[in-house]
């Protein structure tokens, strides 16, 4: 027996075409940096919450970006995390400008978010190649 109820459709929460490439970069950097700032302030290093922010930035950029921004959405989160960690660990984390302390904190922070970066990039590259194949097959 078939239901006569209408199926709900999901509307995009944004009204326009979506985020441009610079918009994706800024969104991801600000999201990762903000969560890393809070986590470094309270824990003195990055961890689980920053990893969730990395996943959210991958997902948000892939969903809310325009057509053609998928490559930027996949490449940027590791770069944004690296820049945020290099800027925030000496200033907020209390590592001062000691190169050895910054190096140790950077490696330990990278180790704690590595599973999030790896799984996010695997999903992101899969999505990128899926979209690219779809675009190439529809253009032929």
Contact 76, 24 (CB under 8 A): yes
Q: For the chain, 140 residues long, give each residue's pLDDT as a single digit of tens.
A: 556 666 554 455 667 788 899 999 999 999 999 999 999 889 888 999 999 999 999 999 988 988 889 999 999 999 999 999 989 888 887 756 788 888 888 899 999 999 999 999 999 999 999 988 888 888 65
Domain boundaries, the chain: 19-137
Q: Distance of alpha carbon 18 from its chain centroid, rounded?
A: 16
Give the pTM.
0.82
Report the distance separating Cα 118 and Cα 88, nearest Å. Answer: 22
């Amino acid at each position: 027996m078939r239901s006569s109820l209408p199926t709900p459709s999901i509307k995009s929460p944004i009204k326009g075409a979506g985020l441009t490439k610079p918009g994706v970069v800024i969104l991801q950097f600000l999201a990762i940096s903000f969560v890393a700032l809070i986590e470094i302030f309270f824990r003195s290093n990055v961890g689980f919450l920053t990893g969730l922010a990395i996943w959210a930035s991958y997902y948000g950029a892939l969903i809310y970006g325009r057509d053609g921004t998928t490559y930027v959405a996949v490449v940027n989160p590791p770069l944004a995390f690296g820049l945020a960690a290099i800027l925030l660990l000496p200033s907020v984390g209390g590592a001062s400008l000691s190169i050895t302390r910054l190096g140790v904190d950077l490696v330990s922070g990278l180790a704690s978010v590595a599973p999030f970066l790896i799984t996010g990039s695997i999903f992101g590259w899969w999505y990128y190649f899926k979209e690219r194949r779809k675009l190439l097959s529809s253009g032929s």
